Structure 1
Amino acid sequence: MTRLPRLPRPPLSAAPGTPAVPAPPRAADRVRTITTADGAALRVLVRGPDDAPLTVVLGHGWTLGSSTWERQTAALTDPARPGPAVRVVRWEQRGHCGSTLGTRPLGIDLLGDDLAAIIDTLAPTGRLVLGGHSMGAMTIMALAAERPDLVRDRVAGVALVATAAGRLDTSRPGFPLRARATGTAQRLIMGALARLPREADRLRSLAPPRLGAHRAAVRRLLFGRDADPLRVRECAELVHGCPAAVVAGYYGPLMRHDMTARLAALRDVDTVVLGGGADRLTPVRCARALGRALPGAEVRILPGLGHMLTVEAPDEVSGVLLRMCAA
């Protein structure tokens, strides 16, 4: 059996409450820093020729990092891939893996502004394909809401992976009792993290990511039944390296966000929605609802897989992006 390449391992935060120190980039990546209007420094990785006719921009999810797109980046920039060259741009979301937070309150619309700044700086012309996992896909939805002309004029395809357009807060009325109890417990935990982030980071430092209990929790929350233990460990390290203040800071915006009525710009774009049949964070209902909001989109549910489709089903996700690039 062919072993997939290992994700780069991110060292843990140098101090409680600070962004995780990024892993060294791969030799093929060029590192750029884009400073936003509110002073956030976004760490960006670029692979492929700068004069490529097509740029693929990939956004990662909450508590994770751009390394979760490594397999897709390798496939898209493989010299043996037929067709014109492709450039891939990945970035670390605010507060993650070396990107700083800036001064504006965290929110999904803010992340859409960050994506716009990255495109305006690194890909001001030419065709685009956009891929987002979880919060990264919500970032693309925010860009489509704020910059519809950019999306309609330049975007050739969009892959929305393991994500939701809204209704993630299950503590509200209308959800089953068990889901409401789980949602309420999550809200209380995140409230405690927001109040005591440094204390939470110190406590987490006593339980390293290699600890079996931590990996088991990540596996249950993020992966399907037959997940590769190596992939689980890599994601457990990413989650462990995300500061408590960042984890808690994004929770409220994620629960409140609702892009369902703001997706008009994506309705005429080649869009594929991928969902995991065993996803606990953005369950199948979220993929189905996104498909109803985007009637022209293709919705694929991958049975037995969890939230981490970019690493659980790398070939499936790569295939969607490769097809969009070829088209």
Structure 2
Amino acid sequence: MSATVPSRTVCRRTAAVRTGDGARLHATVEGAECAPVTVVLAHGWTLSQAAWDDVATLLADRVAGGELRLVRYDQRGHGRSTWASPRHPEPALSLDRLGADLADVLHQLAPTGPVILGGHSMGGMTIMCLAAARPELFGDRVAGVALVATSAGDLTSDPRSAAGRMARLRPGALNAALAGARVLEKLRTLVPPSSPRHRKVVRELLYGADATDEMVLAGAEIMHASTLRSFIEFMPALGDHDKRTELAALSRVPLEIFVGDSDKLTPPRHSRQLSEALPEARLHRAERTGHMLPQERPQLVVDGLLRLVAEAAAERAVA
């Protein structure tokens, strides 16, 4: 990763968050319990909490200094988190389930004090699902939100977009791929992230013109560590995601929206739609930047998170 390593020591621990359907979410908690504000970061599809490493590195001095506490977690079926228990079968996976997971993370790892939520891609959609299902949390527990390279819905209507092309995969083909996952996982090892061909595909799909080879390799390795199951099972849920008429709770808190001008998965029109629906939001469009904005422009994201932290701390001081 490209960010400079800070000199101060950060206290860190891992935790397992139990969900109502038996999934266990792997989380990393950094900083003191008594910090005035907790920042909780949710990652995107086929990634893991490691996608926030550059942002976490840039925040480390603030965490070590006691200004904030940082929580990152792996979404269910990603990273070191599990799927639901077989005792709790779910007919179809939805992003609403991820919103409920985020509520469990807040309840178990940040039960008191103001919280700033940051979500990249599917992580931003997770926050929208939480806002739709639990609006009472926003303006009370949740004091600010950063939405990074994400969408409120209508991901697949443009057949020219990367998401639109993926949506053309028929359910039967996805089910067949899932049934043959073991074979396909072995085939994936034939073209690892170290392969120039692998990195070329990742760069063209996910990164902007200024992305370094180091960034692309790091992102490719994070995605390669994800399973084929997470790719297949979440794809229909992403296509079904639509919270465009359920964003009212987000209007109660300071909101930062970030998008790269070269984003092919959640193109800038999605962030424009969010800012039109939430006109008080601050919209940031990064030039020569793709979908992996937390890697490509981590300082831009950190600056936005710190603005939200400062606003939350000031509000708390007044109260």
For normalisation by structure 1, the TM-score amounts to 0.86
Deviations for 1:278-303, whole angstroms, at most 9, x for unmatched residues?
Answer: 00000011111111221221211112
1:65–1:80 Cα change, 3 Å? closer
The partner residue of 1:200 within 176, 184, 188 is 184
CA distance in 2, matches of 1:179, 1:66: 23
Structure 1 ranges of 4+ moved more than 6 A: 177-181
CA distance in 2, matches of 1:291, 1:180: 21
Q: Which amino acid in 2 is paired with 1:50?
A: E
1:148–1:308 Cα change, 3 Å? same
CA distance in 1, matches of 2:161, 2:211: 26
The partner residue of 1:102 within 68, 84, 95 is 84
Aligned partner of residue 230 in structure 1, secondary structure: helix
| Structure 2 residue 115 is matched with structure 1 residue 128 | yes
Q: What aligned pairs does 1:308-323 form with structure 2 within 5 A after superposition?
A: 308-323=292-307
Deviations for 1:5-39, whole angstroms, at most 9, x for unmatched residues?
Answer: 59xxxxxxxxxxxxxxxxxxx97421001111111
CA distance in 1, matches of 2:64, 2:307: 12
| Structure 2 residue 44 is matched with structure 1 residue 61 | yes
Partner of 1:32: 15
* Cα contact 1:58–1:90 (8 A) shared by 2: yes
The offset of 1:213, in angstroms, is 0.9
Partner of 2:315: none
1:78–1:184 Cα change, 3 Å? closer
Identity of aligned residues (%): 42
* Cα contact 1:49–1:85 (8 A) shared by 2: no
Size of the alignment, in residue pairs? 302
Partner of 1:14: none
Q: Which amino acid in 1 is paired with 2:81?
A: S
CA distance in 2, matches of 1:128, 1:168: 28
CA distance in 2, matches of 1:79, 1:293: 32
Partner of 1:169: 156
For normalisation by structure 2, the TM-score amounts to 0.88
| Structure 2 residue 260 is matched with structure 1 residue 261 | no
* Cα contact 1:44–1:89 (8 A) shared by 2: yes
Gaps of 5+ in 1: 7-25
The offset of 1:125, in angstroms, is 1.1
Q: Which amino acid in 2 is paired with 1:135?
A: M
Partner of 1:90: 72
1:80–1:204 Cα change, 3 Å? closer
CA distance in 1, matches of 2:46, 2:293: 15
Q: What aligned pairs does 1:176-255 form with structure 2 within 5 A after superposition?
A: 182-183=165-166, 185-186=168-169, 190=174, 192-255=176-239
Gaps of 5+ in 2: 312-319
Aligned partner of residue 44 in structure 1, secondary structure: strand
CA distance in 1, matches of 2:63, 2:263: 33
Aligned partner of residue 126 in structure 1, secondary structure: coil
